[in-house]
């Protein structure tokens, strides 16, 4: 250490023993001396520091900064500032510098250099903590041991509306809503005293006067054994409670109409069951199916359909008792649960009254819409002592009512029960029909009456049940549709059709087109197109040899996904035909926009075409328009020569029906085709 002379003995000792680093600098910024502490701090030797400029070790932007600082020290006598020094290893160290002019030594300055890295780290953590607290979504409030507020964060202000200067020094009592009793707060303080913490839901008041729920957590902060502070953090539960209530409502109510859904209905059904078990109170389930709703939905659009459903729900809800449960069962079907001693005796009158609710028309804008309803009902325990059966029985009764020409109200009976039993048996049988070789495919020819040539065949499905015998497709196809089995069955039929057509093509038996019916449900399978492409590759049948037949319902459905699949099929090369044309709600105007090749006119227009002018006019119109837009027309159900002749006069030459042949088994078709060709020669 430099010797400052006899008068500087005390300074020498101080410099040697101080814990901070020390510099002695001249007026040019040259370091004249350093102590051991600075060398330990930076890793340099004394020789590497002394004689060098300040800026060689301290981070300055320019030499001018050094001169400015030394000038300031001269003017003020001393200056305290934070800086950064570079160690020998290149590390940058945060330091605090206390710089002063040396007394009685003009042009000399000394600096005390303190390592503040720990302090800086602590300050950074403190700043981070403060930022976290202020950025926290929870409101935070800190009081002293007497409950006087000392600190609140920004979220406290956001939630309550009070700024910090409005609450500091006051107690949290200013937030009280008055909704909690004195005993509530007694229990809260008892918990804080015993456990040092409390959490629960409270209702507090905002600056606006609005009362809101919050989840509050309070912890006591100890200093030794005594509580020095209380820290409370809370969040506003208003939105959470609103969403919870909304979620609970949606969980048990139909989103469109606001009435009960099936989940709530089943809960009420369980209650009705318990009421019967305890007090012997019977109950009734009434099922409603709104007729013509699909027509309205297709003609006026989904917005009209949704509006009508909401109006139906309102009308029904107003006219049933508060003790009854009205629920939406499915699209245009509703269900009512009534539990009371005298309900079974009055069930006919109740159902008639419900049907009368539909006598008054519904309105959508200026549209006057007339609807009717089919009603089915079942009684517990009269029709079954199993409450799970009653809903199914009411549904079966409703479907039975739909099939009747005039009777739109049907109470469940043994006849319907037998039909339900048969249906269930058929559904169970269908699940294994393919594996047990009970399903077979038949082929019915399609003939050009002008040339007497078989240009195509339609693949038709048949089922021979081991107990019930031959089951009509009109009976089992709807069951396959409803149960979801139609996809597996439809894929099997397609494979059978393509396999046999390939065999007949190789054997020069038949080289025409095969028509295969495809269900709308198959289009819902995301892998349908992939499976169909794979089947073409497997059987080596060209797509243009397979006509896809779909029903009119596909074209009245506004779901773009189904039409997209249909267009994709057409692009692949499959011809598309509409089956049973005229029985649904499609129109030639809509069909001309779709990828359709053939229209198959339903049998109901062919039966009396020889004598019925109306049928002749309809078929003539269909033929004329179809041909004008490039579509083929095929008549279904042709049974007489007279029908063939009349259709030829109209310009329809493609025919299919018993006049030419009934559907032929696989083994019989080649022989029939050979005989037909011989007759035609």
CATH number, domain containing residue 261: 3.30.70.270
pLDDT given at position 9: 44
Instruction: Flag whether 199 is in a domain.
Output: yes
* In a shared domain, residues 605 and 512: yes
Chain length of the chain: 681
pLDDT in tens, 36-65: 999 999 999 999 999 999 888 988 756 667
pLDDT of residue 63: 62
Tell me, yes or no, whether 221 and 103 share the same domain.
no
Same domain, 148 and 106: no
Clarify whether residues 42 and 165 are in a common domain: no
Pairing of strands 513-517, 367-369: unpaired
Give domain status of residue 421, yes or no: no
Q: Which domain holds residue 44?
A: 6-121
Q: Let me know if residue 126 belongs to a domain.
A: no
In a domain, 159, yes or no: yes
Q: Considering the domain boundaries, does residue 635 fall inside one?
A: yes
Alpha carbons 353 and 317: distance in angstroms, whole number: 13
Is the CA virtual torsion 179, 183, 189, 194 positive or negative?
negative
Q: What is the DSSP letter of 610?
A: T
Q: How far apart are the first and last CA of the chain?
A: 132
Same domain, 354 and 398: yes
The CATH number that applies at residue 528 is 3.20.20.450
Cα distance between residue 186 and residue 438, in whole Å: 78
| Distance set, CA 50 to CA 63, 402, 473, 573, 583 (Å) | 18, 108, 108, 93, 107
pTM here? 0.53
Own/partner long-range contacts of 269-273 (Cβ < 8 Å, ≥24 apart): 269/337, 269/387, 269/391, 270/387, 272/337, 272/339, 272/380, 272/387, 273/380, 273/387
Residues 545 and 616 in one domain: yes
Does 283 map to a domain?
yes
101 with 155, same domain?
no
In a domain, 681, yes or no: no
Which tokens belong to 637?
A: 């159900």
Provide the pairing of β-strand 226-236 with 211-223: antiparallel
∠121-125-131 over CA atoms, to 5°? 145
Strand partners, 145: none
* Whether residue 51 is found in the same domain as residue 163: no
> What per-residue confidence (pLDDT) applies to 10?
47
Burial annotation 54-93 (CB, 10 A radius, 16+ → b, else e): beebbebeeeeebeebbeebeeeeebeeebebeeeeeeeb
What is the spatial distance between Cα 132 and Cα 102, in angstroms, rounded to a whole number?
A: 45
SS (H, E, C) 530-586: HHHHHHHHHHCCCHHHEEEEEECHHHHCCCHHHHHHHHHHHHHCCCEEEEEECCCCC
Nearest to 110 by CA among 206, 18, 221: 18
Helix axes 486-506, 473-483, angle to 10 degrees: 120
Which residue, of 366, 381, 412, is where some domain finishes? 412
Shared domain for 570 and 447, answered yes or no, is yes
Q: Assess if residue 130 is contained within a domain.
A: no
383 vs 286: CA distance, rounded Å: 13
Instruction: Note whether 102 and 169 are same-domain residues.
Output: no
CATH number at 181 reads 3.30.450.20
Query: Cβ contacts of residue 63 below 8 Å, gap of 6+?
Result: 29, 53, 55
Domain boundary among 121, 150, 185: 121
Cα angle for residues 468, 478, 515 (degrees, 5° grid)? 100
Residues near 14 by Cβ (< 8 Å), separated by ≥ 6?
A: none
Q: What is the mean pLDDT of each run of 10 residues along the chain (681 residues)?
A: 46 61 90 92 92 87 73 87 91 92 85 89 78 76 90 88 91 86 85 86 89 88 86 82 72 89 91 90 94 77 87 90 90 92 90 90 86 92 87 90 79 84 85 89 95 95 90 89 89 94 93 93 88 94 94 58 82 90 57 82 92 91 89 94 95 95 93 88 57
Q: How many domains does the chain have?
A: 4
Final residue before a domain boundary, out of 61, 93, 121: 121
Cα angle 86, 87, 88; round to 5? 125
Residues 148 and 110 in one domain: no
Q: Do 509 and 640 fall within a single domain?
A: yes
Q: How far is CA 361 from the centre of its chain?
A: 35
């Amino acid at each position: 250490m430099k010797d400052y002379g006899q008068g500087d003995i005390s300074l020498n000792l101080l410099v040697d023993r101080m814990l901070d680093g020390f510099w002695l600098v001249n007026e040019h910024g040259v370091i004249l001396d350093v102590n051991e502490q600075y060398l330990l701090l930076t890793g340099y030797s004394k020789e590497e520091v002394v004689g060098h400029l300040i800026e060689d070790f301290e981070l300055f932007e320019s030499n001018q900064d050094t001169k400015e600082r030394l000038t300031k020290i001269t003017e003020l006598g001393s200056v305290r500032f934070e800086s950064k020094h570079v160690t020998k290893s290149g590390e940058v160290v945060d330091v605090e510098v206390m710089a002063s002019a040396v007394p009685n030594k003009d042009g000399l300055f000394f600096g005390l250099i303190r390592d503040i890295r720990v302090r800086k780290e602590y300050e950074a953590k403190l700043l981070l903590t403060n930022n976290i607290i202020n950025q926290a979504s929870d409101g935070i409030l800190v009081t002293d041991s007497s409950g006087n507020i000392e600190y609140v964060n920004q979220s406290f202000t956001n939630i309550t509306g009070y700024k910090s200067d409005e609450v500091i020094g006051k107690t949290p009592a200013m937030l009280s809503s008055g909704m909690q009793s004195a005993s509530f707060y007694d229990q809260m303080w008892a918990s804080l005293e015993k456990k040092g913490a409390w959490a629960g839901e409270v209702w507090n008041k905002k600056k606006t006067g609005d009362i809101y729920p919050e989840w509050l957590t309070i912890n006591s902060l100890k200093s030794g054994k005594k509580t020095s502070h209380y820290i409370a953090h809370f969040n506003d539960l208003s939105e959470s409670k609103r969403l919870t209530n909304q979620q609970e409502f949606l969980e048990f109510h139909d989103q469109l109409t606001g009435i009960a859904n099936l989940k709530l209905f089943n809960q009420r059904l369980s209650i009705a069951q318990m009421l019967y078990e305890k007090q012997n109170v019977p109950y009734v389930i009434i099922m409603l199916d709104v007729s013509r709703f699909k027509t309205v939905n297709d003609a006026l659009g989904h917005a009209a359909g949704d509006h009508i459903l909401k109006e139906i729900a309102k009308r029904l809800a107003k006219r049933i008792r508060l003790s009854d449960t009205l629920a939406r069962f499915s699209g245009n079907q509703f269900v009512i649960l009534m539990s009371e001693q005298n309900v079974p005796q009055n069930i006919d009158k109740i159902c008639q009254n419900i049907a009368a609710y539909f006598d008054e028309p519904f309105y959508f804008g200026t549209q006057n819409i007339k609807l009717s309803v089919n009603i089915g009902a079942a009684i517990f325990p009269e029709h079954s002592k199993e409450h799970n059966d009653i809903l199914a029985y009411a549904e079966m009764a409703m479907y039975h009512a739909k099939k009747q020409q005039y009777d739109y109200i049907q109470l469940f009976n043994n006849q319907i029960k037998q039909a339900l039993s048969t249906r269930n048996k058929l559904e169970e049988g269908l699940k294994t029909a393919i594996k047990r070789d009970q399903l077979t495919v038949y082929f019915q020819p399609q003939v050009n009456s002008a040339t007497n040539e078989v240009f195509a065949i339609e693949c038709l499905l048949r089922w021979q049940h081991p107990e019930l015998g031959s089951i009509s497709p009109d009976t089992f196809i709807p069951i396959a549709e409803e149960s979801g089995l139609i996809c597996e069955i439809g894929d099997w039929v397609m494979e059978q059709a393509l396999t046999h057509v390939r065999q007949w093509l190789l054997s020069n038996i038949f080289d025409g087109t095969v028509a295969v019916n495809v269900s709308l449900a198959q289009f819902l399978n995301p892998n349908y197109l992939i499976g169909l492409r794979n089947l073409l590759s497997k059987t080596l049948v060209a797509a243009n040899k397979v006509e896809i037949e779909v029903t009119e319902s596909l074209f009245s459905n506004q779901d773009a996904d189904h039409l997209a699949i249909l267009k994709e099929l057409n692009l692949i090369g499959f011809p598309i035909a509409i089956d049973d044309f005229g029985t649904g709600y499609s129109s030639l105007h809509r069909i001309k926009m779709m990828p359709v090749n053939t229209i198959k006119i339903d049998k109901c227009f062919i039966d009396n075409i020889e004598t019925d002018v109306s049928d002749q006019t309809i078929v003539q119109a269909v033929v004329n328009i179809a041909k004008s837009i490039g579509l083929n027309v095929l008549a279904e159900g042709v049974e007489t020569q007279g029908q063939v002749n009349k259709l030829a006069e109209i310009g329809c030459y493609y025919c299919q029906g018993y006049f030419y042949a009934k559907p032929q088994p696989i083994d019989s078709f080649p022989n029939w085709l050979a005989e037909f060709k011989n007759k035609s020669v």
